[in-house]
Chain A
């Protein structure tokens, strides 16, 4: 509507200004309006085929099914995000059935099943689930490299450009931590079972990108929201 209005107004105003009013600056204003109008039309036509409400329903359905599974099994452990090289082609989250705190020793490829063994001990069992972050990795044109700039660029592309879930993302990388600050997040952390295990969808996306970039398992250590910003700390496991 805005685009068509600007195009129409520009198309009427530009020749009127040039031939009748005889003003070059006003003609330029008309031409600028046409350019901006076409841009608005182009952007409006790129809106997703599925409505935001339908997407929300599907996200909630998936989250509630996973939450029901976690609650039924009584799992409260934080998930470990694995890169695609350790799974069957796309990154997934692993929720240990027993919290032993030494999940760091995952080194081999985990089989592509729901219930998996990640270690040599009898209780080294976990369930592997697909998260919003796992799916989004496929949307990246190239796999990000192991630097903070590349992780930040990939996170900005997905969270800001593709999904429009945040205004901006800043990532800092240290030896065993990834610190991310997300400005204007549209999905906040809630104290629910699903988020306590797998993190909020934004943290999940950041964790999936980070583990894929670093090629190492990653765990969401901390997540808090204050003054319009989400601060997410990811622990890099080796």
Chain B
């Protein structure tokens, strides 16, 4: 199996596993699902560090956007806790 197929398969399996486990544990907060999916995406992308430079640049862009989304969610959660809602 080629390295790109392995990478996509790893992402798909991780997403399936995370969503299934969170659903089975009764989690009902969408922010938790998205945050954990983004963390898994960032970890798996980091593990495939030896992809070619053009692929890395493209994946780094997606990772940066995902990370920005993750930070926004964290900030919103912190603000929610601070405001005591």
| Chains A and B come from one and the same complex | yes
Question: Which A residues form the contact surface with B (CB < 8 A)?
Answer: 18, 24-25, 27-29, 31-32, 35-36, 38-40, 42-43, 45-46, 153, 156-157, 160-162, 164, 167
Interface residue from B3, B30, B53 paired with A24 (Cβ < 8 Å): B30
Cβ of B37 to closest chain A Cβ, rounded Å: 5
Q: A24-B33, A31-B37, A39-B11 are in contact. Are A161 and B19 (CB under 8 A)?
A: no
Residues on B with C-beta less than 8 A from A18 are 30
Q: List 16 A-B contacts (CB under 8 A).
A: A28-B19, A31-B34, A31-B37, A35-B62, A38-B62, A39-B11, A40-B8, A42-B62, A43-B8, A43-B55, A46-B54, A46-B55, A153-B50, A164-B3, A164-B4, A167-B1
Interface string of B44-72 (1 = CB under 8 A from A): 00000011111101110110001000000
Q: Which of A31, A39, A42 has the most CB of B within 10 A?
A: A39
Complex CA gap A38/B55 in Å reads 12
> A39's contact among B2, B18, B53, B59, by CB below 8 Å, is which?
B59
* Chain B positions within 8 Å of A42 at CB level: 55, 58-59, 61-62
In angstroms, how far is the closest chain A Cβ from the Cβ of B30? 5
* Contact status of A39 and B8, CB under 8 A, knowing A25-B33, A28-B22, A31-B33: yes
Q: B80 at interface (Cβ–Cβ under 8 A)?
A: no
Q: Which residues of B contact A (CB under 8 A)?
A: 1-4, 7-8, 11-12, 15, 18-19, 22-23, 27-30, 33-34, 37-38, 41, 50-55, 57-59, 61-62, 66
Q: A28-B37, A31-B37 are in contact. Are A36 and B11 (CB under 8 A)?
A: yes
Q: Are B30 and A27 in contact (CB under 8 A)?
A: yes
CA distance A183 to B23 in the complex (A): 38
Distance A38 CA – B58 CA, assembled complex (angstroms): 10
Contact residues in B for A164 (Cβ distance below 8 Å): 2-4
Inter-chain CA distance A43–B2, complex, in Å, is: 13
The answer on a CB contact under 8 Å between B15 and A36 is: yes
Residue of B nearest to A29 (CB): B19
CB distance from B6 to the nearest CB of A (A): 8
Q: Cα distance A167–B7 when bound, in Å?
A: 12
**Within 8 Å CB of A29, what residues of B?**
15, 19
Going nearest first, the 10 A-B pairs with the smallest beta carbon separation are A28-B33, A161-B50, A42-B58, A25-B23, A32-B15, A46-B54, A46-B55, A157-B50, A162-B52, A161-B51
Q: A31-B34, A32-B37 are in contact. Are A46 and B52 (CB under 8 A)?
A: yes
- A32 CB contact (under 8 Å) in B19, B57, B58, B59: B19
Give the Cβ gap from B28 to chain A, nearest Cβ, in Å: 5
Q: Within the complex, what minimum Cβ distance (angstroms) separates A9 from chain B?
A: 13
In the complex, the chain B residue whose C-beta lies closest to that of A186 is B2
The CA-CA distance from A29 to B18 in the complex, in Å, is 10
